[in-house]
Amino acid sequence: MIIAIASGKGGTGKTTVATSLAVCLDAPVQLLDCDVEEPNAHIFLKPENPRIRRVTTMVPQVDAERCNLCGKCRRICQFNAIMILGDTVMTFPEMCHSCYGCLMVCPEAAISESFREIGELVSGSAGNVELVYGRLRVGEAMSPPLIQEVKAQHNSDLPAIIDAPPGTSCPVVTALTGVDFVVLVTEPTPFGFNDLVLAVGAVRSMQLPFGIVINRCDSGDRQVARYAEKEKIPILMEIPDQRKIAENYSRGVVPVDADDGLRTAFRDLYRDILTRI
């Protein structure tokens, strides 16, 4: 069972909700932080002795001895990752999408597999939570293969919570594919509302069940609540705008660890989600 925590807009409280939900369970649970560009869950959970593994993706390597400069590799490549200049085949590993087209099409078997490092996979335990996160290499553009690697660590014997990246494009789609339920975290402001509508479009197009958590619920306007009512989207939880929560967040403290009332509210949230799956 996988619950994903997502939002269109960044900074609405995804990590607060994901870590709080994981910590409040008091039973073994996985937290898969798929915001590989800016992972933050480990700052709150502080896993001990994290294990780190490099993650790579396939890129082609051309054997100049075997290559007859036929150009078939360049023609099949849709990503401008192979060019022929004079009698040299040049590859641009950072452009490559690892489709293997050039390897398949080369009549001289002159292209072999090489690798580009895209980032690291980190895993470790903190209390009842087994945390797995990806850390995209600075300068690497493609996050989806690393997100897939984080998700591949899901142990199907345990419930898992995914902390998804912000936005509505391919990294989000990669993080949400195959999950059982999506929690969209938003804030009651025009920016929060605008991006919530985009996120709702994305989860609906993926036909995933979902609900909304409104963070800092008393800070802005009523537009989000009115929209949820009109669209018949369940509001699963409303978190008040409290300085204490913000301060704990700033210091890397999971809010439920400092507030028993909030802990109870998150346990109720988890039970509520289970009834909706």
Partner 1 sequence: MKELVIISGKGGTGKTSITAGFAALAENKVIVDADVDAADLHLVLHPEVRRTTEFMGGHIAVIDSEKCTGCGECLQRCQFGAVSGDFRVDARACEGCGVCVHFCPEKAIAFPERVCGRWFVSETALGPMVHARLGIAEENSGLLVSLLRKEAKALAEERKLDTLIVDGPPGIGCPVISALTGADAVLIISEPTLSGLHDLERAANLAAFLKVPAMVCVNKYDINPAITERIEAFAARQGIRSVGRIPYDREVTAAMVALKNLVAHSDGPAATAVRGLWQAVSTQLHDGSEVSKT
Residues near partner 1 (CB under 8 A): 8-12, 15, 35, 37-38, 40, 43, 76, 78-79, 97-101, 104-105, 136, 138-143, 165-173, 177, 189-191, 194-195, 198, 201-202, 205-206, 219-221, 246-247, 249-252
Q: Which is nearer to partner 1, 46 or 66 (CB)?
A: 46
CB of residue 187 to partner 1, shortest distance in Å: 8
The nearest distance, CB 270 to partner 1, in angstroms, is 23
Closest CA to 132 of 140, 141, 123: 123
The Cα–Cα gap between 81 and 24 comes to: 47
- Cβ distance to partner 1 smaller for residue 159 or 256: 256
- Residue with smaller CB distance to partner 1, 54 or 204: 204
Tokens of 276: 């909706």
Give me the least distance between CB of 36 and partner 1, in Å please: 8
Nearer to partner 1, 3 or 136 (CB): 136
Match 């896993």 to its residue by tokens: 47
Comparing CB distances to partner 1, the nearer of 123 and 177 is 177
What the block records as the tokens of 162 is 């995914």
Integer Cα distance of 110 and 71 in angstroms? 12
- Cα angle value 208/231/161 (rounded, 5°): 35
User: Residue 195 is which amino acid?
Assistant: D
Q: Which is nearer to partner 1, 105 or 225 (CB)?
A: 105
C-beta of 76 vs 258, nearer to partner 1: 76
Cβ–Cβ under 8 Å, residues 262 and 23 = no
User: Minimum distance between the CB of residue 63 and partner 1, rounded to whole angstroms?
Assistant: 21
User: What is the C-alpha to C-alpha distance for residues 254 and 15, in angstroms, rounded to an integer?
Assistant: 9
CB 140 within 8 A of CB 60: no
Distance of alpha carbon 65 from alpha carbon 142, whole angstroms: 31
**Alpha carbon 34 to chain centroid distance?**
3
Q: Which residues pair with 184 in a beta bridge?
A: 6, 212
Shortest distance, position 55 Cβ to partner 1, whole Å: 14
Return d(Cα 127, Cα 46) in angstroms, integer: 10
Q: How far is the CB of 65 from partner 1 (least distance, A)?
A: 25
* Residue 80 beta carbon to partner 1: minimum distance, rounded to whole angstroms: 11
